[in-house]
Amino acid sequence: MPTGEIEIKVKSAQLLNTCKKLPFEIKDFVKKTEALRLQYRYLDLRSFQMQYNLRLRSRMVMKMREYLCNLHGFVDIETPTLFKRTPGGAKEFVIPSREPGKFYCLPQSPQQFKQLLMVGGLDRYFQVARCYRDEGSRPDRQPEFTQIDIEMSFVDQIGIQSLIEGLLQYSWPSDKDPVVVPFPSMTFAEALASYGTDKPDTRFGMKIVDISDVFRNTKVGFLQDALSKPQGTVKAICISEGAKYLKRKDIESLRKLAADHFNQEVLPVFPKANRNWNSPVAKSIMEEQRSELIRLMEIQEDGVVLLTAGEHRKACSVLGKLRLECADLLEARGLVLRDPALFSFLWVVDFPLFLPKEENPGELESAHHPFTAPHPSDIHLLHTEPKQVRSQHYDLVLNGNEIGGGSIRIHDAELQRYILATLLKEDVKLLSHLLQALDFGAPPHGGIALGLDRLICLVTGAPSIRDVIAFPKSFRGHDLMSNAPDSLPPEELKPYHIQVSWPADSEAEKSSLNQPYHPES
Amino acid sequence: MPTGEIEIKVKSAQLLNTCKKLPFEIKDFVKKTEALRLQYRYLDLRSFQMQYNLRLRSRMVMKMREYLCNLHGFVDIETPTLFKRTPGGAKEFVIPSREPGKFYCLPQSPQQFKQLLMVGGLDRYFQVARCYRDEGSRPDRQPEFTQIDIEMSFVDQIGIQSLIEGLLQYSWPSDKDPVVVPFPSMTFAEALASYGTDKPDTRFGMKIVDISDVFRNTKVGFLQDALSKPQGTVKAICISEGAKYLKRKDIESLRKLAADHFNQEVLPVFPKANRNWNSPVAKSIMEEQRSELIRLMEIQEDGVVLLTAGEHRKACSVLGKLRLECADLLEARGLVLRDPALFSFLWVVDFPLFLPKEENPGELESAHHPFTAPHPSDIHLLHTEPKQVRSQHYDLVLNGNEIGGGSIRIHDAELQRYILATLLKEDVKLLSHLLQALDFGAPPHGGIALGLDRLICLVTGAPSIRDVIAFPKSFRGHDLMSNAPDSLPPEELKPYHIQVSWPADSEAEKSSLNQPYHPES
């Protein structure tokens, strides 16, 4: 104790307050459920870990402000949270107003406002912005969250990236290893091909390798099938020391995961170890293929290869998922693949501008948002092959988590109209104020938003973002301490001209309370 | 122009964007309606004044953060805005959740959370907090606004006041006269007696004087009437040079204001000038009373006295209002009573803890909020004469505007329960989490909130708080740029289990859009 050597001689004492028996001891080693911690959040906040997390968060945000405001001339500007529905904003909370049938919405981000500020000549904007997203029940998501929101005029992708690298370096806690800049950068295509995801955890290898050429003459049925198709590939990852640390049931669970969640067959191969349990098919792999595999993937003693076949994106995705699962399994056996003291930042760039709509793949939707500028090299494709157009969007990834994203925006009103109306088939009337603003001499501009809760969670090593938020909601969106959301008497809804439509089924309320568990995508 | 002496020799130029004809020229001397400015806010933001206001606001808030965070060890903690209805929170926006009949509310302030943080051992909290209040149409009010929100443990009234004095001194813009500390302090009783308000503008005198004793033997009817009652008083203000600068119609309009809004008779007296127009009754004032008045109120040549009679509070209120009206009138004639470069801060203290309920004067309501601690000298009155109890609430007043308020809070659960349940007759169940928190060893604590929009408005001398907010709402709560609030298709309300109750009267929507104009209280 820092005061351990001071002896206090008390002359008089005044009892300021008494304390009833606490529902749990505030000691780190006393295990308690998260529900109990959230119910008595004001007691849980006294724990060493919560004090450390919240104080670190405050200090880090303060350093970010100093960097932006004092060192780089940014202006901290508050934007409204009572706004209107944005096109496609299906996840926005609605707020009835006192005018019948008129609603505000809580915005998912200050995107429109920050672009309008650029038109308004406030050329370096930032805000620690509260944002809202109603996603129903999602573990480790919060209906309200905070982002470091930044926008600049006359800037390019490299300009924003350098700013953010400097920002993180400057604000990084002094008790952690310093941040090394610049951060490496990787295209979306490379991230997908090597890591099977747009947010690769680059703290460890186990990269995906295309081994299609090795298996051109294979007799293994599902590889043959895949390679006979025009887009067919064979892909693999190699688990170093896998044969030593992974058990038969581990490999079984990995294959089951691939089958259940991706409908993909995965074949384990032990190219150097003589243990082909669980992969009778592997016996059909010829010696020539085996040695080519060892050469191509640099396989060591005890290396295990997981291979799968199919269309490029799908094969990569399943191996990307298995790569993370393998890391979990190996770490559970005592290996360290992901050093907890290591912070591995990565820019992912050159995303596609559009994706086929999930519900109707013939139509396009924005991969990120409709204000993202196309890649300058691909503009000519907008009118001919829009699906091939890359964007000027960039994501910042930390240890396999997306902690930020941004883009250079469209500042040309005609281009924005073309993309909204012709390509995306959106109702441009809802965005007429933004289109009109671009018409009045909007400067080229771009920006980024960092997810503050996730960032602090990674910096502190907290198990959940709820541990870096003073008063978080449960994964069902409840405040377990105060019991929000709560019922309201009908007369309090009257001024807002709304009434509750009670579900016809009397069980409906109950079932809505027991929404299914949605794992994070 | 700072760059006026640099000549640029252009080798090549690239057109970054074009600009359509602007709806108005962005020059200060070009007059435009506020509606037009709000519709094209992104253009209005380019004006010198808006740039100045928003950049000053950002710098000043940054300095406040440095003072609190870096110099005084405060922790910046974000509290939720998706909360539940607080008792008596009739002005809180409601947000339907995906559970039928369950609503979040947007809080009017982080009051409960900041007290819970004190229980949680985060003993120096601050936040630049977004707050929400649905007051319908009010000029110069915003449905969302920002406060500098502060709470400390083990602090008293003087402790909070010194902190705030230091905060304002430290963050004050360098192009203004420096802030002099400590600020003067005045009890609520004195503010009412001398200025007729709880937020006196102390930049000028014209104080209210009790002249009851002068008129004990008056023959003037309404004075006689008033003084014959046990609580009756006669009060006056003296307008220096009033006889020189005020016209007959000015005095008439002042008397009409008193009659119309306060139902009070006001008598103008010209004790030294021989111009008793408009006050035939004044002739009944005897010479002895006249000279006593001159002595008591230190009346100079051309001084005009406005006197009224009645119960103390009412007489003071009307004269407090007339005092400000007189200042407006004299300044319209070219006198300077309120130096625009002068910032006159004032603490108002010793407010009553309770007020009689407006709708039912037999019952009590909190003068501020139910968590305010009683004045230590008055605690014994809580059980006998609660109406006499003063509170530990304090207001900060700047140039006649309340820019902040706070209090030492109740940290004793039993006292809090007694005040809530027995005196205020509130349903304590809604606050059970707070009462329970106090039970677990809550430290003594107190805090304050400064209204940031109003403060910046006064510092910049802006005519309206809308001029210090990037994207304000109109006084009807509309965003004139984006047209929020807006209609929503019924299917977008479905996930929230609500439907619009359209008013039966088909004209109702229209009439609700034309809400009557409510002047500020």
* CA A401 – CA A346 distance, rounded (Å): 10
Nearest to A411 among B17, B444, B492 (CB): B17
* pLDDT-derived band at A388, boundaries 50, 70, 90: very high
Chain B residues whose beta carbon lies within 8 Å of the beta carbon of residue A66: 66
Hey, are the CB atoms on B80 and A479 less than 8 Å from each other? yes
Question: What per-residue confidence (pLDDT) applies to B88?
Answer: 67
Interface test with A, best of B453, B486, B491, B506 (most A CBs within 10 A): B486
- Looking at chain A from residue 377 to 416, which residues have their Cβ under 8 Å from any Cβ of chain B? 411-412
Q: Do A48-182+409-420+429-468 and A204-332 fold alike per CATH?
A: no
* CA B472 – CA B113 distance, rounded (Å): 27
Nearest to A16 among B65, B77, B443 (CB): B443
* pLDDT-derived band at A30, boundaries 50, 70, 90: confident
Q: What is the mean pLDDT of chain B?
A: 91
* CA A323 – CA A242 distance, rounded (Å): 12
CA distances from residue A106 to A85, A132, A427, B480, B499 in whole angstroms, order as listed: 8, 6, 20, 17, 19
- Cβ of B100 under 8 Å from any chain A Cβ? yes
Please answer whether residues B238 and B246 qualify as being in contact, where contact means their C-beta atoms are separated by less than 8 angstroms.
Answer: no
- Cβ of B274 under 8 Å from any chain A Cβ? no
Cis amide linkage into residue B182, ω under 30° from 0: yes
Q: Is residue A505 classed exposed, middle or buried when 0-12, 13-18 and 19+ CB atoms within 10 A define those classes?
A: exposed
**What is the number of other CB atoms lying within 10 angstroms of the CB of residue B391?**
23
Question: What per-residue confidence (pLDDT) applies to B281?
Answer: 64
Asked whether residue A519 carries a pLDDT value surpassing 70, the answer given is no
Nearest to A488 among B55, B80, B85 (CB): B85
- For residues A238-266, give the mean pLDDT: 92
Chain B residues whose beta carbon lies within 8 Å of the beta carbon of residue A123: none
Asked whether residue A196 carries a pLDDT value surpassing 90, the answer given is yes
Nearest to B102 among A81, A471, A487 (CB): A487
Domain segments of chain A: what residues? Answer: 48-182+409-420+429-468, 204-332
Nearest to B80 among A95, A411, A471 (CB): A471
Which one, of A256, A245, A79, A62, lies nearest residue A150 by Cα?
A79
Question: What per-residue confidence (pLDDT) applies to B273?
Answer: 60
Residues with Cβ within 8 Å of B373's Cβ and at least 6 positions away in sequence, in order, are B391, B392, B407, B408, B409, B410, B411, B446
**What is the number of other CB atoms lying within 10 angstroms of the CB of residue B120?**
27
Q: What's the gap in Å between the CA of B210 and the closest CA on chain A?
A: 43
Chain A residues whose beta carbon lies within 8 Å of the beta carbon of residue B82: 93, 132, 143-144, 473, 477, 479, 484-485
Instruction: Give the relative orientation of helices B312-332 and B188-195 as an angle to the nearest 10 degrees.
Output: 60
Nearest to B62 among A65, A134, A471 (CB): A65
Averaged in consecutive runs of 10 residues, what is the pLDDT profile of chain B (521 residues)?
Answer: 78 95 89 94 96 98 98 98 82 95 96 98 98 84 96 98 98 95 98 98 96 88 89 95 91 94 89 59 74 88 92 96 97 93 97 93 92 96 96 98 98 96 91 95 98 97 96 94 93 93 65 40 29
Hey, are the CB atoms on A80 and B117 less than 8 Å from each other? no
Nearest to A81 among B94, B144, B509 (CB): B144
Percent over 70 (pLDDT), chain B: 93
**What is the number of other CB atoms lying within 10 angstroms of the CB of residue B421?**
14
Hey, are the CB atoms on B84 and A119 less than 8 Å from each other? no
- Cβ of A483 under 8 Å from any chain B Cβ? yes
Containing A258, the helix (H) or strand (E) segment is: helix A248-262
The terminus-to-terminus CA distance of chain A in angstroms comes to 45
Asked whether residue A295 carries a pLDDT value surpassing 70, the answer given is yes
Q: What's the gap in Å between the CA of A320 and the closest CA on chain B?
A: 34
3-class SS letters over A106-171:
CCCCCHHHHHHHHHCCCCEEEEEEEEECCCCCCCCCCCEEEEEEEEEECCCHHHHHHHHHHHHHHH
Query: Which residues does residue A365 pair with via DSSP β-bridges, in sequence order?
Result: A355
Chain B residues whose beta carbon lies within 8 Å of the beta carbon of residue A492: 85, 90, 94
- Cβ of A487 under 8 Å from any chain B Cβ? yes
- Cβ of A95 under 8 Å from any chain B Cβ? yes
- Cβ of B376 under 8 Å from any chain A Cβ? no
Model pLDDT for residues B422-431, shown as the tens digit of each residue: 999 988 888 9
Model pLDDT for residues B11-39, shown as the tens digit of each residue: 999 999 999 999 999 887 888 999 999 99
Model pLDDT for residues B58-108, shown as the tens digit of each residue: 999 999 999 999 999 999 999 999 999 887 667 899 999 999 999 999 999
Residues with Cβ within 8 Å of A190's Cβ and at least 6 positions away in sequence, in order, are none
- For residues A388-416, give the mean pLDDT: 97
Question: What per-residue confidence (pLDDT) applies to A332?
Answer: 95
Hey, are the CB atoms on A19 and B488 less than 8 Å from each other? no
Q: What's the gap in Å between the CA of A218 and the closest CA on chain B?
A: 52
Hey, are the CB atoms on A498 and B120 less than 8 Å from each other? no
Torsion, Cα A159 A161 A166 A171, to 10 degrees, reads: 130
Superfamily of domain B49-190+343-468: Bira Bifunctional Protein; Domain 2 (3.30.930.10)
* CA B414 – CA B407 distance, rounded (Å): 19
**What is the number of other CB atoms lying within 10 angstroms of the CB of residue A443?**
15
- Cβ of B93 under 8 Å from any chain A Cβ? yes
Nearest to A82 among B59, B143, B503 (CB): B143
Q: What is the mean pLDDT of chain A?
A: 91
- The correct CATH number of A48-182+409-420+429-468 out of 3.30.930.10, 3.40.50.980, 3.30.1370.100, 3.40.50.720 is 3.30.930.10
Asked whether residue A330 carries a pLDDT value surpassing 90, the answer given is yes
* CA A367 – CA A357 distance, rounded (Å): 10
Nearest to A77 among B20, B54, B509 (CB): B54
* pLDDT-derived band at A516, boundaries 50, 70, 90: very low
Nearest to A70 among B62, B75, B512 (CB): B62
Stretch among A116-130, A199-213, A255-269, A504-518 having the lowest mean pLDDT:
A504-518
Please answer whether residues B431 and B380 qualify as being in contact, where contact means their C-beta atoms are separated by less than 8 angstroms.
Answer: no
Q: Is the model more confident about A230 or about B518?
A: A230
Chain B residues whose beta carbon lies within 8 Å of the beta carbon of residue A71: none
- For residues A292-309, give the mean pLDDT: 90
Chain A residues whose beta carbon lies within 8 Å of the beta carbon of residue B479: 80, 82-84
Chain A residues whose beta carbon lies within 8 Å of the beta carbon of residue B481: 116, 433
SS3 content of chain B, % helix, strand, coil (to 5): 35, 20, 45
Asked whether residue A136 carries a pLDDT value surpassing 80, the answer given is no
Chain B residues whose beta carbon lies within 8 Å of the beta carbon of residue A80: 144, 471, 473, 479
Nearest to B94 among A58, A59, A488 (CB): A488
Please report the number of interchain residue pairs, chain A to chain B, with beta-carbon separation below 8 angstroms.
315
* CA B213 – CA B227 distance, rounded (Å): 9
Q: Concatenated DSSP letters for B408-427?
A: EBP--HHHHHIIIIIIS---
Chain B residues whose beta carbon lies within 8 Å of the beta carbon of residue A62: 65, 69-70, 76
Chain B residues whose beta carbon lies within 8 Å of the beta carbon of residue A471: 79-80, 113, 116
Q: Which fold, B204-332? A: Gyrase A; domain 2 (3.30.1360)
- Looking at chain A from residue 127 to 146, which residues have their Cβ under 8 Å from any Cβ of chain B? 130, 132, 134, 136, 143-144, 146
Chain B residues whose beta carbon lies within 8 Å of the beta carbon of residue A412: 17
Chain A residues whose beta carbon lies within 8 Å of the beta carbon of residue B45: 116-117, 119-122
Nearest CA in chain A to B42: A120
Which one, of B188, B230, B245, lies nearest residue B375 by Cα?
B188
* CA A425 – CA A434 distance, rounded (Å): 17
For residue A264, the 8-state DSSP code is: -
- For residues A215-237, give the mean pLDDT: 90
Q: Return the SS3 of B223.
A: helix
- Cβ of B63 under 8 Å from any chain A Cβ? no
- Cβ of A469 under 8 Å from any chain B Cβ? yes
- Cβ of B428 under 8 Å from any chain A Cβ? no
* CA A38 – CA A53 distance, rounded (Å): 16
Question: What per-residue confidence (pLDDT) applies to A88?
Answer: 67
Residues with Cβ within 8 Å of A93's Cβ and at least 6 positions away in sequence, in order, are A105, A106, A132, A134, A143, B82, B95, B104
Q: What's the gap in Å between the CA of A4 and the closest CA on chain B?
A: 20
CA distances from residue B374 to A9, A68, A376, B368, B431 in whole angstroms, order as listed: 32, 44, 67, 12, 19
Nearest CA in chain A to B441: A19
Question: What per-residue confidence (pLDDT) applies to A300?
Answer: 87
